[in-house]
Amino acid sequence: SQQGEEDPQALSIQEGENATMNCSYKTSINNLQWYRQNSGRGLVHLILIRSNEREKHSGRLRVTLDTSKKSSSLLITASRAADTASYFCATDSGGGADGLTFGKGTHLIIQP
């Protein structure tokens, strides 16, 4: 079964607006990671948040983690056309012993 599930499946916003994506998971985790995938390319790591952390920032990215609700959110502020991509959350349990388990992703479209 899917460990991480992103919501919404697709999101279209205007350039300059903020984009928020959510991820829910089922089992306990050590950390949660967010990745971006541009069309036809591999995944690029964005940010890792550990289970004892509640919030983390990296540039225009803000990630929160609520282990009591088994959920995480990724906020991209002041979006740009170049942010158009699919965004995946990944957790370190539910898959292979040492493999990350990915959700199906949120497809984000930034309209100029």
Where on the chain is the footprint of other proteins (CB under 8 A)?
2, 4, 30-31, 33, 35, 40-45, 48, 88, 92, 95-105
**CA pair distance 26, 17, nearest whole angstrom:** 30
Q: Which of 35, 8, 9 is nearest to 100 (CA)?
A: 35
Nearer to other proteins, 45 or 80 (CB): 45
Nearer to other proteins, 9 or 18 (CB): 9
Least CB distance to other proteins at residue 91 (A): 8
**CA pair distance 21, 64, nearest whole angstrom:** 11
Nearer to other proteins, 32 or 76 (CB): 32
Strands 55-58 and 61-66: antiparallel
